[in-house]
Each structure stands twice: as structure tokens, then as C-alpha cells.
Amino acid sequence: MASTSGGEVTIRDLSKSFTLGGRPLAVLRALNLDIRSGECLVIVGASGSGKTTLLRILAGLEAADSGGVAIDGSPVHGVGAERAVIFQEPRLLPWLTVLGNVAFGLEVRGMPKAEAEDKARFYTALVGLAEFSDAYPRQLSGGMAQRVGIARALTVQPEILLLDEPLGALDAMTKIGMQEELARIWSEENVTMVMVTHDLEEAIYLADRVLILPREKGGTARLVEVELPRPRDRSESRFVRYREELLREFGLH
């Protein structure tokens, strides 16, 4: 079910500031970045560094103050069918079953219910929830609910998958399992993945490149290429060295 090539993102001179207590607070300053088709880019940064804002601009949920984003050459205005977002919370509709939730995106886009549910069945199975198709969200654990959210995003077969701290609310054990799941899905689906996280290990485990957003004014964003074979081994010495390198970037090591 691989999508066709595409999903190349060009970010040029992107700036965004918010007003906080009457003062403008710049969170993104003239950011330039090219995200390659099919890569997994993970954005890290201290809180307030604008990583979630960047993702929301990519999603089309917020507009930039200046500069802009283009996908496969065409500028982004608002949300688009080639992008799907996975939020920190699963954001499931409690009155729909698992299958209904997974099919939601396609149905909203006008696909007939039966056809949408057929496709949804495939992705529900892909995230390992086939036997829970008829369950309601309140019956699911946090990890299972987030899998439903992931399946819903995959079902619309986006070129670009935007993930905003998708595993941030999960417990440590569930989180590791879900990271492996995301790595597997990314390799099978051939989708460009842009993910925000505050978990450096998660970043190294998943990323082709890690974008580190600066916290202080005038700092520059940095890219770290993670050249490790997949599937990655968290205990490997090179993995640990990447972790140390990222920690140094944050001035914590």
C-alpha cells in the first residue's frame, strides 16, 4: 500500500511569533529546511522552542507570520489531503467503534462507508487491533487508543505523516513497543514522517535526521544525521554515542 513518491517538504524563511503577556515572543526565526521524500525527520527541542508550532504549521493548522512551506513544490495553505496528523492524544470519537474511528478520515473525504471500512480493516489489522474492531474507545488502554489514532491517519494514505509527541502520554514499556511499531509502519508504508518528541532516545531510534531547535534567541537550528542500521539497537555503543551528542547539544552532558 505504498504511496507514490512525493512528500517532499521545503521550508523557507519560516517565522512565527506569539503574543505572550502583551509582548511578541518569537518561537521560529527564519527557519530553512528541506525534508526529503520518504525520510523520517524527528524534531527535538526544549519546551518553548517552537517544535509543536512548526508541526502545526506543516499540518496547515496554523499560519506562519512570514516565509512559507511547500510540499512537492506547491505552497501550503491550510490542511491538505496529502498530510495526516497524529496528535499526542488519540482524539477518538467516543461514539464510534475502533473500525468507525479508523474509517473516519476516509468517510469525511467522501468515501462510501462500506469501502472506507474495508480499507480501515486493513489498517486496523496493521496496528494489531483486528480483534478489537467493534470495541468502543472507552474500552481501550492508552496505547491501544493511540494505535487507533495511528491507523486512522494511515488509512487516508498520506504522503506525509505528522506526529506531535504521539507517544508522550504513554508509560515507558508501552512506549518502547510503540516506537518499534512506528519504525515498522514507516518502513512498510514508505511515507515521509515528521515527528516531534522530547524523548532523545525515541528520536535516535526512529530518525534519519534529528532537527534540534534552539531555545535561546539567535540560536540556529541544527541537523544531526543518524547513520545507524535498522532495526536499531538501543544498547549499541554508537546509539549511546548519538544520545550523548544530542545531550551535549542541549548542554546537559
Positions in the binding site for other proteins (CB under 8 A):
59, 61, 79-81, 83-85, 87, 89, 91, 93-96, 104-105, 107-109, 136-138, 156
Shortest distance (Å) from residue 55 CB to other proteins: 12
Shortest distance (Å) from residue 58 CB to other proteins: 12
Shortest distance (Å) from residue 93 CB to other proteins: 6
Report, in angstroms and rounded to the nearest whole number, the Rg of the chain calculated over CA atoms.
18
| Beta carbon nearer to other proteins, 112 or 219 | 112
Which residue in 27, 63, 66 sits closest to 45, CA to CA?
27
| Beta carbon nearer to other proteins, 30 or 93 | 93
* DSSP code of residue 159: S
Burial class (CB in 10 A: 0-12, 13-18, 19+), 253: exposed
Shortest distance (Å) from residue 61 CB to other proteins: 7
| Beta carbon nearer to other proteins, 73 or 95 | 95
Shortest distance (Å) from residue 91 CB to other proteins: 4
| Beta carbon nearer to other proteins, 20 or 93 | 93
- Displacement of CA 15 from its chain's centroid (Å): 20
| Beta carbon nearer to other proteins, 89 or 180 | 89
| Beta carbon nearer to other proteins, 104 or 132 | 104
Q: In whole angstroms, what is the distance from residue 176 CA to residue 179 CA? A: 5
Would you tell me the crossing angle of helices 113-126 and 142-155 to the nearest 10 degrees?
Answer: 130
Shortest distance (Å) from residue 46 CB to other proteins: 24
**Non-local CB neighbours of 109 within 8 Å, separated by 6+ positions:** 81, 156
Per the omega criterion (within 30 degrees of 0), is the bond before 231 cis? yes
C-alpha cell at 111: 468515501
- Is 211 in contact with 205 (CB distance < 8 Å)? no
